[in-house]
Structure 1
Amino acid sequence: MIKLTLDFSGILIILLSIENDSIFKLSALRHKEVLLGITGKDFTLIAASKAAMRGATILKASDDKTRALNQHTLMAFSGEAGDTIQFAEYIQANAQLYSMRNNIDLSPSAVAHFVRGELAQSLRSRKPYNVNLLLGGVDPITDKPSLYWLDYLASLAPLPYAAHGYAQYYCLSILDKHHHPDIDFEQGLKVLRMCTDELKRRLPIDFKGMTVKVITKEGIKELDYDDSARIDCP
């Protein structure tokens, strides 16, 4: 006679192990990409790593992880490959549709709250988007720069500087030390160089450089960013 016993504690441990392993994999996936944002006196800088990775494999060395939502608002994204592109293009299409219908662009603050609402709605669905975002821009009316940090749990925070991925471990201390509200463009670019130098020094992976874009009252411009020269932190 075979006696079967059901050990609920063992089943619970197995289920928790599977769930924690999935969370760890998602966390590791999000951290392999680098997003940085810095606001200054009259500008917002957004930087994103160029490497598109799956595991330890680099699939593309010139991936643009940013989307222009209107003339004065830019969004950078990281997360699962399919989710990021679909969500970014969905937000981009809706922001441009609003501009076409109303002959006026949404402000960066309005776009950020719209994005947060879409993430919150998605989070309560069967297939939530696994994306982390930095949204930066300059208000076309007040000329005030702004930067918003959003994550896959629909958290939203306006910040003077922000980071996602590995950058949040190595760069926030540098930004905390060197950033101030009246920083000019040259100083902001120098602080960004300090951050990318620190990432190159600390990380074992090659993120293939950074795509850097600046938002001013004139619009969005991509910079020819060279991070080959080393800058020491004072």
Structure 2
Amino acid sequence: MDISFALTGKGYVIVAADTVAARSIVKMKVDEDKIKVLSPHLLMAYSGEPGDTVQFAEYVERNIRLYQIRNTHALRPPSAASWIRRTLADSLRSRKPYAVNLLVGGYDTSTHNPHLYWIDYLGTMSEVPFAAHGYGAYFALSLLDRYHDPEASVEEGLATLKRCIDEVAKRLVVNPEKYKVKIVDKDGVREVEI
């Protein structure tokens, strides 16, 4: 039931995820943060099986932090996304695969470009201008395709994201009430209210 959206714009990536932690038909929590900040300019939205998502997100967070400590600089978004994809693909070939879908967004401080990666539970990765996971993707992808502008300002990007959230609220039977929204740009990661 997890829903997550992400889009890029002129010098930023916006990532949004619902805050409901549920299992089957039971809501267990309504204030879950499903967006993990991996480094000062990198974040990851995760969805999937509840135990797998938290465990995999924490594993990725700790290993990216360990890389930064060992090498005195953080991984760039393309390198981090590639490592995350490989880790997910390796787990798929083990006895305990993770059932996790990810949206990895970051701002590359060396090239001054935003990056967004769509990764699914099979270890498939693609760099995209916008993405969505979960049931909300059925409604949001067509809106993002129509209204996404790679040169849009942050305010225009947030307006496009709001359109997606409103469409999901109108058309999906089980509607999440709240979303966490985080932006990553040259200044780092910050949370905004929608």
TM-score range, shorter chain: over 0.9
Larger radius of gyration: 1
Runs of 4+ that moved beyond 2 A: none
Q: What is the alpha-carbon root mean square deviation over aligned residues?
A: 0.7
TM-score (norm: length of structure 1): 0.82
Partner of 2:151: 182
Partner of 2:45: 76
Q: 1:204 is matched with which residue: 173, 179, 182? A: 173
Question: How far apart in 1 are the matches of 2:8 and 2:175?
Answer: 26
SS, match of residue 171 in structure 1 = helix
Matched, 1:220 2:193: no
Tell me by how many angstroms 1:101 deviates. Answer: 1.0
User: Is the Cα contact below 8 Å between 2:92 and 2:98 reproduced in 1?
Assistant: yes
**Percent of counterpart pairs with the same letter?**
45
SS, match of residue 129 in structure 1 = coil
Tell me by how many angstroms 1:208 deviates. Answer: 2.4
Tell me by how many angstroms 1:64 deviates. Answer: 0.3
Partner of 2:22: 53
User: Is the Cα contact below 8 Å between 2:168 and 2:175 reproduced in 1?
Assistant: no
Q: 2:2 is matched with which residue: 27, 33, 38? A: 33
Partner of 1:147: 116
Tell me by how many angstroms 1:189 deviates. Answer: 0.3
Tell me by how many angstroms 1:34 deviates. Answer: 0.3
Question: How far apart in 2 are the matches of 1:186 and 1:160?
Answer: 17
Tell me by how many angstroms 1:131 deviates. Answer: 0.3
More helix by share: 1
Q: What per-residue deviation string (whole Å, max 9, x for no partner) do you get for residues 179-207 of structure 1? A: 12111111100000000000000011131
Question: How far apart in 2 are the matches of 1:51 and 1:206?
Answer: 10
How many residues get paired? 194
SS, match of residue 206 in structure 1 = coil
Question: How far apart in 2 are the matches of 1:134 and 1:189?
Answer: 17
Partner of 1:230: none
- Residue type matched to 2:184 in 1? I
Q: 2:93 is matched with which residue: 95, 100, 124? A: 124
User: Is the Cα contact below 8 Å between 1:62 and 1:208 reproduced in 2?
Assistant: no
Where relative contact order (Cα < 8 A, 6+ residues apart) is larger, the structure is 2
SS, match of residue 64 in structure 2 = helix
SS, match of residue 177 in structure 2 = coil
Tell me by how many angstroms 1:117 deviates. Answer: 0.5
Q: 2:136 is matched with which residue: 135, 157, 167? A: 167
TM-score (norm: length of structure 2): 0.98
